[in-house]
Structure 1
Amino acid sequence: MENGRPAAYITGIGIVSPIGVGRETFWRAMLAGESGAGPITRFDASEYAIRIACECNDFDPKDFVEKKAISRIDRFTQLGLASSKLALEDASAWGFLESTPERVGLVLGTGLGGVGSMEDTQGTLDARGPSRVGPFAVTKIMPNSGAANVGIMLGVQGPSAAPALACACGTDAMGLGYDLIRRGDADLVICGASEAPLTPTIVGGFISMRAMSRNNDAPEEACRPFDSGHRGFIIAEGSAMVILESEASVERRGAEPYAKITGFGRTTDAFNITDPDPEGRGIYRAMKLAVDSAGLDGSEVGYINPHGSGTPAGDGPESHAMARINPNVAASGTKSTLGHSLGASGAIETVITTLAVKDRTLPPQRNLAERAEDCAELDYIVDEPKEAPDLKAAICANLGVGGHNAAVAIERA
């Protein structure tokens, strides 16, 4: 119980990422600073100005999805199902789900939904006519298809939601899951986000927006959060789901939490459809709301995993917002390793923040050689992990296209 408000305990972690599948493999690669960047192989990008991405090359849907179901669900749903199963296994929570499905909730967000299936369906329509559009076209494309199919396949019967706040939706999902727990609507929530955006239209669109790095010759060096050479992000796919539980459920099951969510904040910039507020007011208020609702002082926040997409428009304002929370805070822009998985990024970065708090070890970022002049002078963790024996609390914060901001406060359990 925090400030008279129940916490949500994180008892399981499931992740599919460009640097590994599963918590242990992922965290080992993250601490080692391994890069998930490389050439695009999901489609022929030879004629594109940008031909690099972070793909989940170690993911095989057959390891997690029944053979007959693979063709009926989009890749983002496949990724979400895999990370949900991994999280349930990690939490040893299958028995609870099977015995009490009505007390289990599900929040599975996505920024884009089944955009790959949308493009495939359009191709079929153009080439073969409307009579050849498949019967699963709509249910593969709709943004809630991840939550719907995962709920059906796992047997979840409690409350469910499918947030779609662009690049902030993974963090927003944590707030929704946190609310379900503290209101008593569920005892356990499978919570996170998934994204599979490596398609011709999405990559082409971001190229036109001039939002991505064009460093095709050195993809591992392309994303450079807070660095003087930052020129944009590198697009990625991935998914992360966590198991959130009430304190009573943790005690009843004898679960061992990694950490706990104790505060949350969400705000809107009301500034621009693509660029964040240049003063960073929205992301600062989201972080401040998370800190205040957790009953923390900014000085108690020892680590922030920021949005850190490597764009000049975002890095400066966000860095100064972090400095307003705690001028001495440690930070690492882990998209330099993982790329930017859009809607899934906040869920993946919540996992990173959770493991940092649990292990009291701060993961490094890549490619910060010289801090950009317009970025605040913080304790950036670069190239090597840093031990943080006194770490009590941390923040994961994200900005979304459209001016959406979300931040979650995570403390030691």
Structure 2
Amino acid sequence: MDKRRVVITGMGCVTAYGETVDSLFENLCKGNSGVSKIDGFDPSDYDVKIAGECRNFDVSKYIERRKAKRLDRFSQFALVSSMTAFEESGLDLSIPEEAERTGVLIGSGIGGIHEIETQHKRLLAKGPSKVSAFCVPKLMVNAASGCVSIELGAKGPNLCVVTACASAAHSIGEAFRMVQDGDADVMITGGSEAAVSPIALASFCSLKSLSTRNDEPEKASRPFDVERDGFILSEGAGTVILEEYEHAVKRGAKIYAELAGYSATGDAHHITAPLPDGAGAARGMKLALNDAGVNPEDVDYINAHGTSTQLNDIAETLAIRSVLGEHAKKPALSSTKSCTGHFLGASGAIELIVSARSIDDSMIPLTANTENLDEKCLPELNHILGESVEQNVDVVLSNSLGFGGHNASLVLKKVK
């Protein structure tokens, strides 16, 4: 049986720039940073005092406060990004057949860490009888998918993927397969993370994986730069509506791009470090391109994982050169984490949204802050520095690499 075509018909997000895709994309193209000093808690005792926080997020604009109180912050993000994506798509799930053919698959790397911290304090201070009955329903990573399904009335497949920083990309990829194979006509999919919290920040500080450029937060994330010193911890969510092509065309939906290829590979190397030569990521990129029926020379833009860490940036650029070979100098290459910081389990969704907008708007966001390319990050590649580039974009490769050796690549194509 031929695989069904899958397209994106709605997108939503929650980031430091607000709750609209327009604000996200416009700020990235201008090189505006969403990173600032942490104000959600006192970071005075931490080596790192900066993050990408959603400071002005107000869930009560979208759902009643009583309902919101039963959701951890990461689920609130997921619900808002999904509601806005769903509204934009114009889908109607009041029709029973449509509801039963619409599923949800939203991932997270960490889940309800705010609830864990809150209830642990309560346990120590007041004893076990004072721990909330909502503790487990709020902290469980699948809560995001569950609450989105309940709120929107989606009765199709309802799952969750947890693969660290590749969670959202894997979620979208697996949802893509479900629509391709006919298990659903529509999938509401993406990722959410709210890990700007005391214990998560402390852990990443102990790992020495974060930038300590506290005095200039907006310039701290600098992927591929010789002076990069770690990533920026950020929070947020991204959701895309994946829909079978004929189903979308029949109802006259706006189509942003076609999701044409996906792969998932493992490094089998180390719990936090990538393979030094990027071989696992390279194999994933190659498989995704093959899945999409795309040749290396057809790629116009690569939205890199590009975390601003020493090992990741080198491994990923080596992988790109390995896969694209003599064509590696052609496609534009940038990391939007230079402005947003690292959303962990939400990254792949937010970056796929950026990739889809690049196709729809013919605009490629820059890698901000990078002034001196590291020779090990292959300056001969087409790094987009200084300013964003306006050009036609037909094919985008978007990469996500996670702790545990999890690699995911997604390929988008312009619908012609």
Cα displacement string for residues 111-157 of structure 1 (whole angstroms, at most 9, x for unaligned residues): 00101101101010000000001110110011111111121122111
Distance 2:92 2:281 in 1: 37
Percent identity, please. 38
Residue 203 (1) aligns with residue 206 (2):
no
Distance 1:195 1:266 in 2: 21
How far off its partner does 1:99 sit?
Answer: 6.5
1:288-303 pair list within 5 angstroms: 288-303=286-301
Distance 1:218 1:98 in 2: 53
Structure 2 counterpart SS, 1:20: coil
How far off its partner does 1:5 sit?
Answer: 2.5
Cα displacement string for residues 83-105 of structure 1 (whole angstroms, at most 9, x for unaligned residues): 00010111112456776211111
How far off its partner does 1:4 sit?
Answer: 4.0
Match of 1:15 among 13, 33, 38: 13
| Corresponding residue of 1:172 | 170
Q: Is the Cα–Cα contact under 8 Å of residues 302 and 392 in structure 1 kept in the other structure?
A: yes
Runs of at least 5 residues in structure 2 that lack an aligned partner in the other structure: none
Q: Is the Cα–Cα contact under 8 Å of residues 88 and 94 in structure 1 kept in the other structure?
A: no
| Corresponding residue of 1:342 | 344
How far off its partner does 1:280 sit?
Answer: 0.1
Q: Is the Cα–Cα contact under 8 Å of residues 7 and 178 in structure 1 kept in the other structure?
A: no
Q: CA RMSD in A?
A: 1.3
Q: Could you tell me which amino acid in structure 1 is paired with residue 362 of structure 2? A: R
Match of 1:407 among 406, 409, 414: 409
Q: Is the Cα–Cα contact under 8 Å of residues 14 and 238 in structure 2 kept in the other structure?
A: yes
Match of 1:152 among 146, 150, 153: 150
Q: Is the Cα–Cα contact under 8 Å of residues 19 and 34 in structure 1 kept in the other structure?
A: no
| Corresponding residue of 1:367 | 369
Deviates more, 1:160-169 or 1:88-97: 88-97
Cα displacement string for residues 221-259 of structure 1 (whole angstroms, at most 9, x for unaligned residues): 111100111110010001000100001211221112000
Distance 2:366 2:209 in 1: 23
Cα displacement string for residues 282-323 of structure 1 (whole angstroms, at most 9, x for unaligned residues): 111111111001111001011110110000111011012112
1:20-59 pair list within 5 angstroms: 20-59=18-57
| Corresponding residue of 2:385 | 382
Q: Could you tell me which amino acid in structure 2 is paired with residue 314 of structure 1? A: N
Q: Is the Cα–Cα contact under 8 Å of residues 17 and 24 in structure 2 kept in the other structure?
A: yes
Match of 2:106 among 105, 108, 111: 108
Could you state the TM-score of these two structures normalised by the residue count of structure 2?
A: 0.96
* Structure 1 runs, 4 residues or longer, greater than 3 Å off: 94-99
Q: Could you tell me which amino acid in structure 2 is paired with residue 54 of structure 1? A: G
Runs of at least 5 residues in structure 1 that lack an aligned partner in the other structure: none
Deviates more, 1:359-368 or 1:231-240: 359-368
How far off its partner does 1:6 sit?
Answer: 2.1
Match of 1:396 among 386, 392, 398: 398
Structure 2 counterpart SS, 1:343: helix
Residue 218 (1) aligns with residue 216 (2):
yes
Distance 2:20 2:343 in 1: 17
- The verdict on how the C-alpha distance between 1:336 and 1:98 changes in structure 2, with shifts beyond 3 A counting, is farther
| Corresponding residue of 1:123 | 121
Q: Is the Cα–Cα contact under 8 Å of residues 401 and 408 in structure 2 kept in the other structure?
A: yes
Q: Is the Cα–Cα contact under 8 Å of residues 38 and 219 in structure 1 kept in the other structure?
A: yes
The count of residues paired between Structure 1 and Structure 2 equals: 410
Q: Could you tell me which amino acid in structure 2 is paired with residue 169 of structure 1? A: S
Match of 1:245 among 240, 243, 246: 243
Distance 1:4 1:69 in 2: 43
Distance 2:228 2:122 in 1: 39
Distance 1:336 1:164 in 2: 24
Structure 2 counterpart SS, 1:264: strand
Q: Is the Cα–Cα contact under 8 Å of residues 19 and 30 in structure 1 kept in the other structure?
A: no
- The verdict on how the C-alpha distance between 1:145 and 1:296 changes in structure 2, with shifts beyond 3 A counting, is same
How far off its partner does 1:20 sit?
Answer: 2.6
Q: Is the Cα–Cα contact under 8 Å of residues 35 and 51 in structure 2 kept in the other structure?
A: yes
Distance 2:353 2:397 in 1: 11
Distance 2:96 2:40 in 1: 36
How far off its partner does 1:110 sit?
Answer: 0.3
Distance 1:97 1:135 in 2: 34
Structure 2 counterpart SS, 1:374: helix
